[in-house]
Structure 1
Amino acid sequence: MRLAALALCTALLAGCATPDRDARLQPGVSREAEVVALYGQPGRVWPEADGGRTLEYSSQPMGRHCYMVRLAADGRLVGVQDGLSPAGRALIQPGMAPEQVSRLLGRERTRVFFRLSGEDVWDWTIEPDQTGYGMRFNVHFKDGVVARTTQSMVFPSRLFPGFDD
């Protein structure tokens, strides 16, 4: 009985593992095949200048993370970053091109063009702040480059409880 309970707990904990905290993945040791076996096919694969690759595991539109799994040219794990962490979001600067933003933050939740302002706004669901309300990180593009970034609160829907928009 204890062995079965221990096996169940281990399986549940493994199911909650994320690439950035998964003890089964070791930089310099783990290979691409292990990452794919554990987390499935990435949403996108970004080639790197040194011959390596970055595997993108985005949880958008409802999730709050985008794990960028960096591999060396030989396929070994270099490291994992959450592009939607505060540090990842801080890398977005005015003047960046859309592809540069995607390489850092991963696939966006939505894109909306505002005709009057001429801004194309992409957003990502991120971890809530101390208010407890949902949050979005917004990147405003104007004339094909980042003009600014903002954050917005997501208030619960009164018509459809459990849906935030």
Structure 2
Amino acid sequence: MSTRICVLAAAALAGCAGYGPGQLPTGATARQVQDQMGPPTGRYPRPEGGERLEFARGPFGKHTFMVDLDATGKVERWDQVLREDVFNQITPGMTADELRYKLGRPVHQFGIWRGATVWAWRYETPFCQWFMVTVEPSRVVRDSGYGPDPICEVNEKDELR
């Protein structure tokens, strides 16, 4: 009986979408990408032609994989973009569309004064911080920086009890 359960569990897991691209080869088709990773959480046209597929991952949104497809729909490259070196490429004057193309969807958005919005992304870091970008009502980046992730404040309060 336990062998049967193990076989069924293995079959069920094999049918699930993978967390990341793993060994996704250059030249794989868009269909193969989606078979491995499930449906994309975003799609963006690439300036040079083709398409960028976004796969936001994790229970706290700390990973976003971008898979770049060429004009024929084949994988050129992929990258996990929620990293400080990518965040540091975000500059004032960028459009909200350029920001989404670079980082994917934010894990959180909240309004601030004069109609501006702060977009925030969590990422893997030894510090409890997230990356934040202020987006003006005109959908242009005003500024960006790092700040304390509110989820850590909740965890610290829980630990103090």
Alignment match, 2:74: 76
Q: Structure 1: 5+ residue runs without aligned partners?
A: none
Alignment match, 1:137: 131
**For 2:98, what is the secondary structure of its paired residue?**
helix
TM-score, normalised via structure 2 length: 0.76
**Is contact 1:64-1:125 (8 Å) kept?**
yes
Mapping 1:27-106, distance limit 5 Å: 27-28=26-27, 30-59=28-57, 62-106=60-104
How many residue pairs get matched?
Answer: 147
Runs of 4+ in structure 1 off by over 4 angstroms are 14-17
Distance 2:85 2:101 in 1: 14
TM-score, normalised via structure 1 length: 0.75
Q: Flag the 1:151–1:54 CA change in 2: closer, same or farther, 3 A.
A: same
**Is contact 2:18-2:37 (8 Å) kept?**
no
Distance 1:83 1:158 in 2: 26
Cα shift at 1:16: 6.9
Distance 2:142 2:122 in 1: 20
Distance 1:61 1:113 in 2: 23
**Is contact 1:31-1:75 (8 Å) kept?**
yes
**Is contact 1:67-1:81 (8 Å) kept?**
yes
Identical residues among aligned pairs (%):
25
Q: CA RMSD in A?
A: 3.0
Q: Flag the 1:156–1:79 CA change in 2: closer, same or farther, 3 A.
A: same
Alignment match, 2:142: 147
**Which structure shows the bigger proportion of residues in helix conformation?**
2
